[in-house]
Chains A and B, each alone.
Chain A
Amino acid sequence: MHFLAISNDTLFIYYLLSNVIYLGLLIVAIVRNVRHRHRLGSQRLELVKASPFTPPITLIVPAHNEEGSIVGSVGALLGLEYPRLEVIVVNDGSDDATMERLRQAYQLHTARILYIADIATAPLHAIYRSRLDPRLFVLDKEAAGCKADAINAGINAATSPYICVVDADSILEKESLIRIMAGVFADPGRVMAVGGIVRVLNGSRVVNNQIEEVRLPKSPIEVMQVIEYLRAFLVGREAWAGFNMLPIISGAFGVFQRDLVLQVGGFRTHAVGEDLDLVIRMHRRLREENRPYQIDFIPDPTCWTEVPTDFKSLARQRARWHKGLIDALWPNRDMLFRTRYGRVGWLVLPYMWIFEFLAPLIEVVGYSTIILALISGVLSKSFFLQFLLFGYAFATLISIGSVLLEEMTFRRYSDSREVARLLIYCLFEHFPYRQLTMIWRLQGIWQYLRGDLKWRSLKRVGISTDPVA
């Protein structure tokens, strides 16, 4: 009985605290987003493009079996509005026709370009360059079984001071690169990395690898992910970045100072969540060296990505994300509560341990003991129901808050009916969707403990691209 009481108390405090923290993050995010919107009003991208001080950037595109989309994706990347751009596609041992498609579409020829392996990677077969667009290079390498190795090869070949890693199956908006670099220009000496927002592509109309019309997807499972992405990026990342504690820059779209990435040894090969792992190691390095720095997030440069459309793929993805979380947190556990790591060690990492990594475990134990307490009469039935309802209403309030944030700032979903759908789905995010994700995350913990770190492919519908008429 005593155990049940303690467990119930713990869950009560835990749940309240997590929601209060998120409410705090929401408020900080609203303030930052509104300020950012005001700044955007005076930002003239054409001046940035014309400025001689705009530094070059290298886009690194790891590609493994992307024959269906690679040509269009690369075309879209070469069409990005940035004055000094280099695109490096790393064909990571594809066993489909990815390389052939690239060779034909861009008239690749072998280029004996100087390549120094600052970071060790699987061997390269060849380096190619396009005759059609000299900004495009293709590295053909042996597969190492991980995306990080491909990115590292791209970093070795990059000649720019900044690198931007982009997924081959994602779509960057035309101005996204110049917008994300505006975050670097704000203080190039301090800003070491900047993340942009990743949004859900499903349902939108794509023409020639550019978003033509933003629409909500049809199926509920995809709409739920839209809300999740809005909350994670517009609230979570925006607020953490406000305190210079951003723990992750999405692997789908982020800019990094190349030298710093080299200093930390590049992306960790075989890391499950290589993006989270890299950013935590960057924090570690910069704090150990006592360097003033900023790892920032900017909410307007947008990358559109396809999300899973079926439960099986979503379950795999969430399990993998959770494994990635553990895989990044565990090797850096020595950063916890250490003065030299400052707010990162005292606030964001403990938050990630308690409210991200342990969340499914605590919730499962909590739900079980509450039900036991209910059966054994330790907890009154009416109070239990009221508590559940409160938790649900409070969490829903925060979900609706993230939709509000989107409405107040970027308004990508312009159709009122779609916003109404988003709001309705907010009501289902915390029951039953949250409980499902909890189970998938538990699977991730179980797989990690068993040492099962292998990559499971996700079913993709593919980007439906309409050609220009």
Chain B
Amino acid sequence: MGSIFKGIEKLGAAGLVLEAILISLLGIFLLVGFIVLRRWYRARYFHKRNLRTVALRSQWNDILSGKMPAEDWRFDPLDCDIVESILLDSIEMSSADELVPLLDCLRVSGLLDMRIYEARTLRGLKQRTALLALGRTRAMEAIPALAAGLDSHLRETRIAAVRGLGRTARMEAAIPILDRIVTGQFDAPERSLKNALVNCCRSHPDVLVSYIEHTHGPVRELLARVLGELASAELGEELLVLASDVLPEVRASAARALGNTDASYTLPALHSLATDPEWFVRLRAVVALGQIENIGKISILLRSLCDANRHVRQRAAWALAQMEPQLDQILEDVVATKDDYALQAFVSELERSGAIEKLGTGFAGSGRRFTEIALTEIVAEARKRVELTGKAAAASVGAR
């Protein structure tokens, strides 16, 4: 078998390689040329854009009030882009009163209609850009076009529509999203959906409750997570129904929401949730207990401090460490549990909050059973035992 080189040489390989060299060199020149041209074009474009921005800014009040006819800037692509950018940035930062003239300008100039048209008719990147711009307008009439984007067969477009609806921060914008996700067939990242729903339902979390009632499985969990972020005391006894839901994620969200209420039923409900079979439900309940002002929570938290789950223990310790007037009694109760992990977690949290020094000083001067030295000894002993157990745990997971 002859060498490849010889074979190619017979076929006039020298010529072929020469061609390859030339093509590579041409490629190099093209790339370098492209880089140089691109740099030149961008510098020129930004210079021009800067000049036009200054000119338009100087006429801004006239543009907003309509004294300067929209035709003067709408049909120049650069001017139109600059004005739209300024308007959308202003809308994002504006209060309800400031919003009115900005939206009027968008409407009167036809910019809003143009974006609605683009969102409905264009495809790909341009459609997604239009959807996001529409969301930023926060205009009611943008919602149907954004909702139509949810039905795109392209995932990226659906995500853009979800984000756009979220940015409107209007309760009405949540409805098209909710209508689609309750079917269980809507494919979009959970995080985008949750963020959009949180933005839209902030002032009306009750909208979510009616949807949760009619959903199951992961969709129900998703809605419950959102509700957990938004729920307030106004939801009332709806929360109690959710607290006894069959889905742990829903119960966890109810627990989270209960932390925002101080109704009479809150403590008994959280007491029940703090003993839930699922650790993350217990965790949520303990976090919620930390948020409410009720001395009755101490006994529940003490029990959670001895929980089998490390995270639950830590959060219970954190919640207890915040109760400064009762700390000395709580410490005695924690020692009485004879649970080294509980004691270690509680002392860790006292250290984090800086309360341990005050507590030590208080004990030293009080003549009570505990002195600072005794406290240190108890903690050191507990720590030693905890570390030994930790090493055994490490060995059991096969760590080297």
Contact = CB atoms under 8 A, between A and B. Distances in A.
Interface of A: 5-6, 8-9, 12-13, 38, 41-42, 47, 51-53, 111-120, 129, 131, 134, 159, 185-189, 262, 265-266, 268-269, 378-380, 382-383, 386-387, 389-390, 393-394, 396-397, 400-401, 403-404, 407-408, 416, 419, 423
B393 interface: yes
A47 B24 CA distance: 46
B219 to A, nearest CB: 15
Nearest to A270: B400
A115 B32 contact: no
8 contacts: A53-B198, A116-B394, A119-B394, A120-B394, A188-B191, A265-B398, A386-B14, A400-B32
Interface string B382-398: 01001101110111011
Contacts of B3: 5-6, 8-9, 378
A426 to B, nearest CB: 9
B340 to A, nearest CB: 10
Nearest to B194: A53
A85 B132 CA distance: 30
B198 A380 contact: no
Contacts, number: 150
Interface in B1-18: 2-6, 9, 13-14, 17-18
Interface string B335-369: 00000010011011001101000000000000000
Contact of A416 (B39, B129, B198, B399): B39
B217 to A, nearest CB: 15
A265 to B, nearest CB: 5
A134 B32 contact: no
Contacts of B348: 111-114
Contacts of B393: 116-118
Nearest to B34: A404
Contacts of A386: 14, 17-18, 21
A319 B18 CA distance: 36
Contacts of A396: 24, 28
B125 A112 contact: no
B24 A390 contact: yes
A393 B379 contact: no
Chain B interface category by residue count: 35 or more
B306 interface: no
A423 B225 CA distance: 52
B39 to A, nearest CB: 6
A134 B191 CA distance: 29
Contact of A407 (B18, B38, B163): B38
Contacts of B2: 5
Nearest to B4: A9
The 5 closest A-B pairs by CB, nearest first: A393-B24, A116-B390, A5-B3, A119-B399, A386-B17
B294 to A, nearest CB: 24
B226 to A, nearest CB: 9
A117 B400 contact: no
B163 A42 contact: yes
A380 B383 contact: no
Contacts of B101: none
Contacts of A38: 125
Q: Which of B20, B34, B198, B395 has the most CB of A within 10 A?
A: B20
Contacts of A404: 31, 34-35
A106 to B, nearest CB: 15
A116 B386 contact: yes
A407 B400 contact: no
Contacts of B194: 53
B310 interface: yes
B347 A118 contact: no
Given A383-B9, A394-B24, A120 B399 contact: yes
A117 B27 contact: no
Given A397-B31, A400-B32, A42 B21 contact: no
B272 interface: no
B195 A269 contact: no
Contacts of B18: 386
A379 B229 CA distance: 74
